[in-house]
Structure 1
Amino acid sequence: MSVIDLKAIEQLYEDDYTLWLEKTANILRTGDLSQLDIIHLVEELETLGSEQRRKVESYLRQLLKHLLLYQYWSLPECKNHWAMEIENFRAELKRLLRSRTLYNYLISVKDEVYTEAVRQAKKKSELKCFPETCPYTIEQILDLDFYPELN
């Protein structure tokens, strides 16, 4: 591919992202790496990794918040709702945590994310009784059958 064609594919990234993705995938399939828009491809790969880490944080935050609400907010009509939310967020995390890298990332951000979950749980419930440090182990957080005892 000539320099003009490479410039065209680089411009395609700005003009029609979906078509750029299709053309990039085809270029990779054919193995003609000289045609690749390397700068944008690297940018997209980095973005994908960041998105996966953000998803882990988001699902973990929601899971922790709902574990806290399940344990401390004693409205019987809410327990089933909290339990379903817990189940949904665990399922989403389970898919992501097939990656050992993302599992290790979850471990590294658990305490920081827990602090955010407590803040959100306080706003949702107006309760102030949540522990300052995470009372759940990683194993409990991810255990499909674990529900904290009611306080």
Structure 2
Amino acid sequence: MSDYDTDILEWSERQAALLRRRAAGQLLNDDEVDWANIAEEIESVGSEQWHAVESLLLRALIHMLKAEGWSLARDVPHWQAEARVFRAQARRRFVPSMRQKINLPSIYADALRGLPETIDGQPPLLMPAVCPVTLDELLSVD
């Protein structure tokens, strides 16, 4: 079992030091560098960023839908503000290569499932079956 499996912090520090030495021109024994796990970790960095943007878009949509579905609720200004914050955070983290991976219809379906059945005893107004905004609209500045 490698440090990757038992102590990820130790593994990451050791691998980073080895890669820095290699980048500086020092020859290393290739057995020292855990290439397979390094490749996996590098790939996971991008995936985590993509999933973070999707999560922020989901949270924004839920708050937008609550504001629309319960438009007379006292919390509407709060939900709208929260939606703007989540959209701004998504906009800052979004990079163009994510566009092909973000499945807005699926995120919207999750947002619909994430809504409460009632707020203050009231059911929501009728919600659109398909996402009423585009990805560009979600990522735009209001």
Normalised to the residue count of structure 2, the TM-score between the two structures is: 0.80
Q: Equivalent residue of 2:115, what SS?
A: helix
CA contact (8 A) 1:122 1:128 kept: no
CA separation in 1, counterparts of 2:34 and 2:111?
A: 40
Q: Equivalent residue of 1:104, what SS?
A: coil
Could you say which structure has the greater relative contact order, defined with CA pairs below 8 angstroms and 6 or more residues apart?
Answer: 1
CA separation in 2, counterparts of 1:95 and 1:52?
A: 11
2:69 to 53, 56, 72: 72
Q: Equivalent residue of 2:46, what SS?
A: helix
User: Aligned-pair distance for 1:111?
Assistant: 0.8
**Letter matched to residue 110 of structure 1:** L
**Residue by residue, what CA displacement relative to the aligned partner does 1:72-108 show, whole Å, maximum 9, x if unpaired?**
21234212211221122112211221x21113323xx
CA contact (8 A) 1:96 1:102 kept: no
CA separation in 1, counterparts of 2:100 and 2:76?
A: 30
Q: Equivalent residue of 1:77, what SS?
A: coil
Q: Equivalent residue of 2:52, what SS?
A: helix
1:135 to 126, 132, 137: 132
| Alignment match, 2:3 | 12
| Alignment match, 2:42 | 45
| Alignment match, 2:104 | 110
Deviates more, 1:135-144 or 1:15-24: 135-144
CA separation in 2, counterparts of 1:53 and 1:138?
A: 14
**Residue by residue, what CA displacement relative to the aligned partner does 1:20-60 show, whole Å, maximum 9, x if unpaired?**
11111111111156231112212222322332232222111
Which has the larger share of helix? Answer: 1
CA RMSD between the two structures? 2.1
Provide the aligned length of Structure 1 versus Structure 2: 133
| Alignment match, 1:89 | 86
